Every structure is written in structure tokens, then in C-alpha cells.
């Protein structure tokens, strides 16, 4: 395909993009790197910088007297996530802790209520597998690590199956039909990228620092369907999950609703930073974001086929946009070197996942079709020139 024609098409798509203006809501240096790693860490919304400054000023001026406002942040932001991102109801979501700790709380609560075997995908994101591995050892239950095609049958007999909604490497969506029984969904790569409807789901956790632009290490979220809340108790019995927290009573008595899954004092600076990103998502609507995500990734897949496949790349993500999240992974025999060369020689920032995947993320809120074109064009040019051959092989420790 002639690059000029594609570039024109990309420009036309940008001109017709109903979300195009939202890019201006983010800090973007147009002379800076071409950033295609928003699936790892989202961009900074201008409103977030303002909000954080306001919060810091509030700390300085109001000190402890501001706590009655701050203390509502986990459920306030949780409700916003529920309504605008997750298809859940008010009182079913909290913003708190990390994905890891939230996985532990929910899976631990399920096992405390009734022990039984756990199931996870053998190639799921590490923290999901590690958390379950630890819980299984503590509780003396089996953890079955299975392949995707074994998931449905294995989940049928499990006490709990934990599975990522979108695979962190391939970007492939796992559908509800692939898993049965009680399921704990990890929505880390899904929240803010695809439309989610938790109405029929029981348990979920997820991340806010990727497509939701909450900031580095921003607090995660957890979801417990309302009718399950009183049947589960967090294994981490903290004072923020206590029914009458400031009674400071003699025994732990879990709060009646979702608050029982809070643990300790929430990190307010990082927590309020989440809010502006969620509000931008709400403004765009998840329907529009998901539609644009499909079109952005479709364009990249098309350019892969035309330009990159002949250079040794293989599409490691679904070809069908309906089963794909917000990133596209390309395998290459020298994937690590390609990724390094993109950063160091082509001013493109994707990321790398072992063994040989270069991940290109295209968050719809601020990614232009032109960026997709540029990412593919620069990758093509770089590999044609052999610039990746000058890079060192992958070190033992890849960050």
C-alpha cells in the first residue's frame, strides 16, 4: 500500500472522529515520542493535574477536617466506575488498594466462605496466578492452571475461576461463554478499552492506570455483585471495612455493603487522581471509545498485513476486532531488539512482553489514526533499515 494514500485515509478518519477533541484534554507533547503504551500507563489528563494541585492545597489548608470528604472517595469513584465503565450498579464497586490486594481479598473471601479448587489460565497475568497459588497453598486446596481450551470444563468443577477479561499479551477477549461457575474477572486490560456489562457477573477487579488514565500505580477497583456482598467477608479485616469504623468496638463486624471490602486508610492523593480520568471516559462514553478502539486496531492490523508481515512480524492478536481489546501485539524473532530500536531510534514507545512480543496500545481517548499509521510506518522503516540489529539482546531482567 502506498504510504501517502494510507496517511490520507488516516487523516480523513481523524477528521471524522467524534472523540478527536478529547485528545486536548490530555498532556501531549506533539514533538515528543509517539506513545503507544497507554495500555501500560495512560496519559495525564490536564484536569488531573489541576485536581491533584487542589487536593494538595486542601490538605495544607483543611488538614484533618477534610477527611469527611476524602473518606467517601473509594465509593464515590467506585460508583462512577460502575455507571460509566463497568455496567454495574451503585454500591457494587470500590476504588481501593492494588489489583493484587483486591484479587486476594475477593478470592480469599470466597475460599473462607467455602473452600474448594481454584482454576486459572496457565498463561494469565502473573499476579493473578501468584495470588491464587498462595491462597491455594494456605487453604490446602488445588489450583488448576489450564489452557484456554480447557477453561470451560475446568471451571465447571471449581470453587472459583479467576480469569483476565483481556489477555495481557494477545489482547484477546475472553467471553462469558468460556467459563462457568463462580468467576472473578480481572478487567485490568479491559476497563476503559471495551464495553463491559457486569450485570450478570459476580466478582471483578481491575486497574485504573491503563485506559482509565489514573496515574502511576493508581488505586485499583473491585466489584462484588450486591447479592453476594453479605455472603462474603474480606480476609483482610481492616478498620475501614468495619461497620461503625469510629466506634472502634471490640470485635470486627463487617460493614453491611461494599465497604466491607475496604482495608486500611486509602491513599487519597493517588485516589482522587483517578476521578478525572473516569470523568473523561464518561464524557466520551464507552460505546464510542469501544467503537474507535476497534477502528484504530483494525487499521494497525491492516498495516501489519501490508507492511510488517513481509518483514518477519506475525500478528499475535485476534484478527476479528470484536474479540480484541485496545492493544495489538506483534511477534518478531527479534522482538526485544525491535522494541528497543523503536524507543531509541524511531521515537516510538511501545512495550515488550516475553518471549518475543512488541505490544502497541491504542487508547481511543487520545490516540489518532495518524498515530497508528506512524507507528506502523516507523516500525516498517526501522526493520527495513535493520536498525534493530544494532540493539543488544534482551537482558536477564527486562523491566
Residue 132 CB, nearest distance to a second copy (Å)? 9
Torsion of CA 199, 203, 207, 210, to 10 degrees: -40
Closest by CA position to 164, among listed 142, 199, 193: 193
In the bound state with a second copy, the residue whose beta carbon lies nearer, of 290 and 342, is 342
Query: CA-to-CA distance for 116 and 159, rounded, in angstroms?
Result: 5
In the bound state with a second copy, the residue whose beta carbon lies nearer, of 13 and 357, is 357
Residue 224 CB, nearest distance to a second copy (Å)? 17
CB atoms within 10 A of CB 53: 10
Query: CA-to-CA distance for 86 and 92, rounded, in angstroms?
Result: 10
Half-sphere exposure of 385 (CA within 13 A, CB side): 15
Where would I find the H helices in the chain?
3-15, 46-62, 67-70, 73-81, 99-113, 126-139, 151-156, 226-229, 268-284, 286-303, 335-345, 369-385
Which positions are annotated as active-site residues? 125, 186, 209-210, 359
In the bound state with a second copy, the residue whose beta carbon lies nearer, of 59 and 228, is 59
Residue 152 CB, nearest distance to a second copy (Å)? 22
Return phi, psi of residue 218, to 5°.
Answer: -55, 145
Return phi, psi of residue 175, to 5°.
Answer: -85, 160
- Identify the DSSP state of 26: B
Distance of CA 251 to the CA centre of its chain: 36
Residue 108 CB, nearest distance to a second copy (Å)? 8
Query: CA-to-CA distance for 55 and 66, rounded, in angstroms?
Result: 10
Residue 220 CB, nearest distance to a second copy (Å)? 7
Residue 38 CB, nearest distance to a second copy (Å)? 8
Question: Left (φ > 0), alpha (ψ -120 to 50) or beta: where does 231 sit?
Answer: alpha
In the bound state with a second copy, the residue whose beta carbon lies nearer, of 88 and 272, is 272
In the bound state with a second copy, the residue whose beta carbon lies nearer, of 210 and 294, is 210
In the bound state with a second copy, the residue whose beta carbon lies nearer, of 166 and 301, is 166
Q: Is 229 in contact with 88 (CB distance < 8 Å)?
A: no
Amino acid at each position: 500500500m502506498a504510504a501517502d494514500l494510507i496517511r490520507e485515509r488516516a487523516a480523513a478518519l481523524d477528521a471524522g472522529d467524534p472523540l478527536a477533541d478529547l485528545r486536548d484534554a490530555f498532556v501531549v507533547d506533539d514533538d515528543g515520542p509517539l506513545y503507544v503504551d497507554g495500555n501500560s500507563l495512560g496519559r495525564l489528563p490536564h484536569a488531573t493535574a489541576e485536581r491533584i494541585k487542589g487536593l494538595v492545597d486542601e490538605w495544607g489548608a483543611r488538614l484533618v477536617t477534610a477527611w469527611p470528604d476524602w473518606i467517601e472517595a473509594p465509593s464515590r469513584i467506585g460508583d462512577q466506575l460502575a455507571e460509566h465503565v463497568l455496567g454495574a450498579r451503585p454500591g457494587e464497586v470500590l476504588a481501593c488498594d492494588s489489583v493484587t490486594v483486591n484479587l486476594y481479598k475477593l478470592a480469599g473471601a470466597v475460599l473462607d466462605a467455602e473452600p474448594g479448587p481454584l482454576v486459572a489460565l496457565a498463561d494469565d497475568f502473573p499476579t493473578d496466578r501468584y495470588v491464587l497459588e498462595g491462597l491455594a497453598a494456605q487453604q490446602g486446596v488445588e489450583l488448576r492452571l489450564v489452557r484456554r481450551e480447557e477453561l470451560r470444563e475446568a471451571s465447571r468443577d471449581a470453587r472459583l475461576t479467576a480469569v483476565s477479561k483481556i489477555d495481557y499479551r494477545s489482547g484477546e477477549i475472553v467471553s462469558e461463554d468460556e467459563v462457568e461457575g463462580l468467576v472473578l474477572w480481572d478487567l485490568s486490560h479491559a476497563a476503559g478499552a471495551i464495553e463491559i456489562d457486569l450485570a450478570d457477573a459476580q466478582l471483578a477487579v481491575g486497574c485504573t492506570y491503563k485506559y482509565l488514565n489514573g496515574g502511576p500505580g493508581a488505586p485499583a477497583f473491585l466489584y462484588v455483585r450486591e447479592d453476594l456482598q453479605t455472603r462474603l467477608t474480606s480476609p483482610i479485616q481492616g478498620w475501614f471495612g468495619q461497620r461503625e469504623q469510629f466506634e472502634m468496638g471490640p470485635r470486627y463486624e463487617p460493614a453491611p455493603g461494599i465497604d466491607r471490602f475496604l482495608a486500611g486508610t486509602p491513599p487519597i492523593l493517588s485516589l482522587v487522581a483517578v476521578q478525572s480520568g473516569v470523568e473523561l471516559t464518561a464524557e466520551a462514553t464507552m460505546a464510542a471509545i469501544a467503537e474507535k478502539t476497534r477502528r484504530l486496531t483494525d487499521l494497525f492490523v491492516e498495516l501489519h498485513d501490508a507492511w510488517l508481515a513481509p518483514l518477519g512480524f506475525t500478528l499475535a492478536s485476534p484478527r476479528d476486532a470484536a474479540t480484541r481489546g485496545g492493544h495489538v501485539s506483534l511477534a518478531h524473532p527479534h522482538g526485544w531488539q525491535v522494541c528497543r530500536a523503536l524507543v531509541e531510534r524511531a521515537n516510538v514507545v511501545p512495550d515488550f512482553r516475553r518471549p518475543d512480543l512488541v505490544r502497541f496500545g491504542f487508547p481511543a481517548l487520545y490516540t489518532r489514526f495518524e498515530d497508528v499509521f506512524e507507528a506502523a510506518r516507523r516500525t516498517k522503516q526501522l526493520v527495513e533499515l535493520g536498525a534493530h540489529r544494532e540493539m543488544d539482546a534482551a537482558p536477564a531482567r527486562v523491566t
